A and B are shown apart, each in its own frame.
Chain A
Amino acid sequence: MSEPIIELRNVSKRFGPTYDAAARLTREIASRFGRTPKSETVHAVDNVDLTVSRGEVVGLVGESGCGKSTLGRMVAGIMPPSDGQILFKGRDIASLPPDAVKDAKLKVQMIFQDPYASLNPRLRVAEIVGEAPRVHGMIPNGQFDSYLDGQLRRAGLDPAFKRRYPHQFSGGQRQRIGIARALAVQPEFLVCDEAVAALDVSIQAQILNLFMDLRRDLNLTYLFISHDLGVVEHLSDRVLIMYLGRIVESAPSEEIFGHPNHPYTQALLSEVPRIEARKRRFTAIKGEIPSPMAPPAGCHFHPRCPHAMPRCGIEAPALREIAPGHKSACHLNG
Chain B
Amino acid sequence: MTATLEVRNLRTHFFTRAGVVKAVDDVSFSVERGQVLGLVGESGSGKSVTGFSIIGLIDPPGRLAGGSILYQGRDLAKLDERDMRHLRGNRIAMIFQDPMMTLNPVLRIDTQMIEAVQAHIKTSKAEARTRARDALGMVGIPSPEERLNSYPHQFSGGMRQRVAIAIALLHNPDLLIADEPTTALDVTIQAQILAEVQKLATDHGTALLWITHDLSVIAGLADRIAVMYAGRVVETGEAADVLDRPAHPYTHGLIGSVPSRNKRGDRLAQIPGMTPSLLSLPAGCAFRGRCAHASTACEQEPPVAEPTAGHAVRCFHPIQGAPA
Contact = CB atoms under 8 A, between A and B. Distances in A.
> What are the nearest 7 A-B pairs in CB distance?
A205-B257, A230-B260, A234-B259, A284-B192, A273-B216, A63-B186, A271-B191
Interface of A: 63-64, 170-173, 200-206, 208-209, 212, 227-231, 233-235, 253-254, 267-268, 271-285, 288-289
A231 B239 CA distance: 23
A170 B274 contact: yes
Given A209-B270, A279-B222, A272 B187 contact: yes
B274 A274 contact: no
B262 A64 contact: no
B259 A233 contact: yes
A277 B217 CA distance: 9
Contact of A273 (B156, B219, B264, B267): B219
Given A172-B274, A275-B261, A284 B191 contact: yes
Nearest to A271: B191
Nearest to B260: A230
B89 interface: no
A233 B191 contact: no
Given A170-B274, A209-B270, A204 B187 contact: no
Interface in B272-293: 274-275
A201 B40 CA distance: 11
B274 A271 contact: no
Contacts of A204: 257, 259
Nearest to A285: B188
B26 interface: no
Contacts of B214: 201, 273
Contacts of A282: 191, 194-195, 198, 220-221
14 contacts: A173-B274, A202-B253, A202-B271, A202-B274, A205-B256, A205-B268, A209-B267, A275-B243, A278-B243, A279-B223, A279-B239, A281-B195, A284-B191, A288-B159
Contacts of A275: 215-216, 219, 243, 255, 258, 260-261
B164 to A, nearest CB: 16
A284 B188 contact: yes
Given A200-B43, A278-B240, A234 B268 contact: yes
Given A234-B260, A272-B187, A203 B274 contact: yes
Q: Is the interface of B mostly helix, strand, loop or mixed?
A: helix
B269 interface: yes
Contacts of A254: 264
A193 to B, nearest CB: 16
Interface in B16-66: 42-43
B213 interface: yes
Contacts of B217: 273
Interface string B181-200: 00000111111101100100
Most buried by A among B188, B222, B271: B188
Interface residues of B, number: 48
B220 A234 contact: no
Nearest to B186: A63
Most buried by A among B189, B222, B275: B189
Given A202-B253, A209-B268, A274 B220 contact: yes
B158 interface: yes
Interface string B141-160: 00000000000000011110
B69 interface: no
Nearest to B40: A201
Interface string B216-251: 110111110000000000000001100100000000
Nearest to A257: B264
B186 A64 contact: yes
A235 B263 CA distance: 10
Contacts of B43: 171, 200
A253 B264 CA distance: 9
A278 to B, nearest CB: 6
Contacts of B187: 63, 227, 229, 268, 271-272
B186 A289 contact: yes
A204 B262 CA distance: 14
B259 A288 contact: no
B220 A277 contact: yes
A272 B259 CA distance: 13
Contact of B271 (A170, A205, A228): A205
Contacts of A209: 267-268, 270
A279 B221 contact: yes
Contacts of A227: 186-187
Most buried by B among A201, A229, A280, A285: A201
B107 to A, nearest CB: 23
A212 B266 CA distance: 9
Most buried by A among B187, B215, B223, B262: B187
